[in-house]
Structures are given as C-alpha cells and as structure tokens.
Amino acid sequence: MRALVIRLRLRVPQAVNNLRRLAAYRSELSPDQFSGMLAQATVGTPLSAETIMSLLGQLDEGTSNGE
C-alpha cells in the first residue's frame, strides 16, 4: 500500500496498474472481504480505504467510458 501512496503522489503511471490489480482483487472477493482487507492495508498510510475505493470508482468509470 505504501508503494501505491508514493506512486500516486509522484503521479507515476505504475499507480494505474496498481489500481487495476486492486480492482481485480475486488472482483475476486466479496465486497465485505475486500473492504475489510483494504481497511487493514491502509492503517498507518496517508490513504484511507474510502479514498482508494473512490479511485477504483474513477477507474471503473474510465473503463466504462472506453478509456
């Protein structure tokens, strides 16, 4: 999770790949499992689980718009 934080801050293109992998995990797990694991993974990081969920939502919107 710390790597994602750094990549997002530096606007490194690899951050999108990290978010896509998280989106894949989200689809593999139940919503409760994913939310719980995400909450645990974000403890002590500057990103909250809600922020990451928002970023994943933006990624979903971009994917559905053909980006």
pLDDT, one tens digit per residue, over 3-51 is 888 999 999 999 999 999 999 999 999 999 999 999 999 998 888 999 9
Per-residue pLDDT, 47: 87
Longest dimension (CA), the chain: 35
Q: How far apart are CA 19 and CA 38, in angstroms?
A: 12
**Residue 60: what residue type?**
D
The pTM for the full model equals 0.79
Question: What pLDDT, on the 0 to 100 scale, is given for residue 67?
Answer: 55
Backbone CA torsion sign across 32, 26, 56, 48: positive
Residues 6 or more apart whose Cβ sits within 8 Å of residue 29: 37
